[in-house]
Amino acid sequence: MRSLVRMFGLPALWAVVGELEHSIRTGAPSAERVLEGRFWGYLSAHPAASRICDQAMTAKAYGQVARADTARVFGPSQ
């Protein structure tokens, strides 16, 4: 959970979210408006932010795998 919170706190992510109205109105990604190289380009240029995102995605994947494994063993929840 900590890694996801750290990722959601990245200034670049907040800048993208801050331009959400632009995306809704135009259909274009807001990241291309506020981040040079869009989101992935930003991560390539900012290794610390990239590490935070990597950690968050890894933690998220582990949580999803654990839930999927539980569902497989015990069946779907009611």
- Which pLDDT score, from 0 to 100, does residue 64 have? 60
The alpha carbon torsion through 31, 37, 41, 42 (nearest 10 deg) reads: -60
Distance CA 16, CA 32 (A): 9
- The per-residue pLDDT for 71 is 55
d(CA 63, CA 67): 6
Is the model more confident about 22 or about 72?
Answer: 22
36-75 confidence digits (pLDDT tens): 899 999 999 999 999 999 999 998 887 765 555 555 555 5
